[in-house]
Structure 1
Amino acid sequence: MSSVYSNMRTKLKKGDLVKVITGKDKGKIGKIISFVPKKNRAIVEGVKIIKKHEKATQTSKGGIIEKEAPIDISNVMLVCPHCNKPTRIASKFLDDGTKVRVCQKCNETI
């Protein structure tokens, strides 16, 4: 399994700009930091912030820290870099045989 894609069912990649379409963080936009492939979830920058109580160790101070929790992939939608709108993703083969992702709204390659 590739580390760039979360799994074979999604067309999102690490580093993509996504918008949350449902849940308590609806409307927030952030970049995908990482994936949790077995649970079909992604960690998005600035979305679903939780407080975690961490014990002090030799390397870290400890205390209450804020971090991002995983959000289900079905709750986010890719934001097209050309039209700046949340969109579905289509796949298309170019003339040289490479497969690219295409915005469904403006038909530009992503």
Structure 2
Amino acid sequence: MKIKKGDMVVVISGDDAAKAPRKVTQVLDGGQKVVVEGVNVVQKHVKRNHPKSPQGGRLRFEKPIQASNVLYFCGACNQPARVGFRVTAEGAKERYCKACQASAGQVSPARKAKSVS
């Protein structure tokens, strides 16, 4: 997954496209869809005794958008950039910013060296 929960992203297409970075609150469908804070907000009208709103009324919540419509926002270079994967010298797999080569977090721990017998 190139985008993870908690990442800062910039929406690059759609009605909510903006330059300001926003936080990813949820990743769905194996990384294909993401829920971004304050993006794609919809209202749902509910009757009384609804589990989320006992008094009824209008609920506002964010719907998922395609992950291809967002770009990772790199904190090191302060700009949106694509994300790549690489293996470090220790054998750990990590995500990195393709613009400035800064690490964006570890994906998997270092592999143990195989002993030669």
TM superposition score normalised by structure 2: 0.78
Q: 2:29 aligns with which of 28, 37, 58?
A: 37
Query: Partner of 1:80 in structure 2?
Result: 74
User: Does the aligned pair in 1 maintain the 2:3–2:31 contact within 8 Å?
Assistant: no
Aligned amino acid, residue 2 of structure 2: K
SS in 2 for 1:74: helix
2:88 is aligned with 1:97:
no
SS in 2 for 1:92: strand
Q: Percent identity?
A: 37
| Distance change (3 Å), C-alpha of 1:25 and 1:58 | closer
Query: Partner of 2:115 in structure 1?
Result: none
Query: Partner of 1:23 in structure 2?
Result: 14
Aligned amino acid, residue 91 of structure 1: F
Shift of 1:40: 2.4
Shift of 1:58: 6.8
CA distance in 1, matches of 2:65, 2:74: 20
- The structure with the larger Rg is 2
Query: Partner of 1:12 in structure 2?
Result: 3
Stretches of structure 2 that go unaligned for 5 or more consecutive residues are 105-117
Stretches of structure 1 that go unaligned for 5 or more consecutive residues are 1-9
Alignment length (residue pairs): 101
Query: Partner of 2:44 in structure 1?
Result: 52
Shift of 1:98: 0.6
CA distance in 2, matches of 1:38, 1:11: 10
SS in 1 for 2:76: coil
RMSD: 1.8
